[in-house]
Amino acid sequence: MRSELEIIQMEVGLLQNFCEVIGCPETGDAALVDPAFEVDRLLAVVREREWTVRTILLTHTHDDHVAGLDEAAEATGAVVRCHPMEVERARAFAPRVEPVSDGEEVTIGAGVARAVFTPGHTPGCVCWYLPQPGAVITGDVLFVGSCGGVHYPDSDSVAMVHSLQNRLGALPEETKLYPGHDYGKTPTSTLLWERLHNPALTNDTLDDFRRYKKVR
């Protein structure tokens, strides 16, 4: 039986970014997700709970998700895990960066975070699925009520539709959603709510999605 991980969501910086602290109450091992801004606040949460950060998980390496990575890596000595295509950029911030593979389960104490490759916003986007407690951290792929931009030079709307419909679509509908930005009516949601109400998901063909996102 895997241990249920605790997820603490924190809004940081001026771009409504969410970072997460994930901890295993059983062992005290912890991970940070996308340490970008106000790293001291993340570390204060870790200290309060007497946890030890062993891993830093990245959803992708846009500046607003890695701006505090150097500070977080130096303070914790943690190993950074990200998509192979984002490794080089992550190494500019942290000495210990290891690529993750699709479906790989990264240990956090007695629990795991599973890498789900979800290209589209960038080619190297990873969503992190936590089977216990049943949650997914989606970075800039899926937000509450919308989704990340596909207008960047390396964005790919075909890949994005596949990621939203087939990759995130394969996760259980009761999965709790932790987006990378606080752009919705609520800070978290469920995949079921999004499937029913989010135009990024209800526009489920490539043509409809492109019209919705105003991209070609």
d(CA 211, CA 191): 22
CB-based contact 62:82 (threshold 8 Å): no
Nearer to Zn ion, 20 or 64 (CB): 64
Least distance CB 60 / Zn ion (angstroms)? 6
CA separation (Å) from 59 to 3, 69, 86?
23, 12, 9
Least distance CB 180 / Zn ion (angstroms)? 5
Structure tokens that stand for 64 in this block:
């607003």
Least distance CB 110 / Zn ion (angstroms)? 30
- The residues with which 52 forms a beta bridge, in sequence order, are 29
Of 21, 18, 19, 17, which is closest to residue 8 (Cα–Cα)? 21
- The residues with which 105 forms a beta bridge, in sequence order, are 114
Nearer to Zn ion, 109 or 139 (CB): 139
Least distance CB 63 / Zn ion (angstroms)? 8
Structure tokens that stand for 45 in this block:
């949460």
Nearer to Zn ion, 51 or 128 (CB): 128
Nearer to Zn ion, 64 or 71 (CB): 64
**Contacting positions for Zn ion (CB under 5 A):** 62, 64, 140
Least distance CB 181 / Zn ion (angstroms)? 6
Nearer to Zn ion, 29 or 64 (CB): 64
CB-based contact 18:179 (threshold 8 Å): yes
